[in-house]
Amino acid sequence: MSSSAGPVLAAGCVLWRRSSHDGSPEVCLVHRPRYDDWSFPKGKLKRGESALGGALREVLEETGHHCAPGARLPTARYEVNGRPKEVAYWAAEATGGSFTPNDEVDRLLWLPPSVARERLTRPGDRDQLDAFLTAPRSA
């Protein structure tokens, strides 16, 4: 590809559920052994795929969970290997499923947002977490 190619397009979700203890939100972080990082489930879009469709597919592939998309969150923009990357994000409530470790994601954690904030590898991911905390959630 030439350097004039557009940005790499990707999508993901701040996947969340209500704590079984007190009903407060817990967010899902995934660990990718290839990068040894903790992040929200996300990935590159397939040709012709909508950003939301890609986000829901990536959540299912990486976490084993189905989800109900909610508020749109800020798009992350950064460079990877000298190429711009744009990751569209949504808040999404987990509706069922279970995690099975795989080559792409070997660990998954459900954490209170304050703990997740400290665990995120890329400081920029905190923008999506902050937006999630102020976004409306269904009751």
Q: The domain spanning residue 117 has which CATH number?
A: 3.90.79.10
Residue 103 lies in a domain: yes
Residue 106 lies in a domain: yes
β-bridge partners, 93 = 16, 68
β-bridge partners, 16 = 27, 93
Count of helix runs (H) and strand runs (E) in the chain: 3, 7
Look at the chain and count its residues: 139
Residue 2 lies in a domain: no
pTM reported for the whole predicted model: 0.92
- For 99, the domain range is 8-134
Task: Report the domain count for the chain.
Answer: 1
For position 2, what pLDDT does the model report?
Answer: 45
User: Which secondary-structure segment (H or E) carries 60?
Assistant: helix 51-63
Q: Name the one residue in this structure whose structure tokens are 């990486």.
A: 62
Give per-residue pLDDT as tens, 68-125.
Answer: 999 999 999 999 899 999 999 999 999 999 999 999 999 999 999 999 999 999 999 9
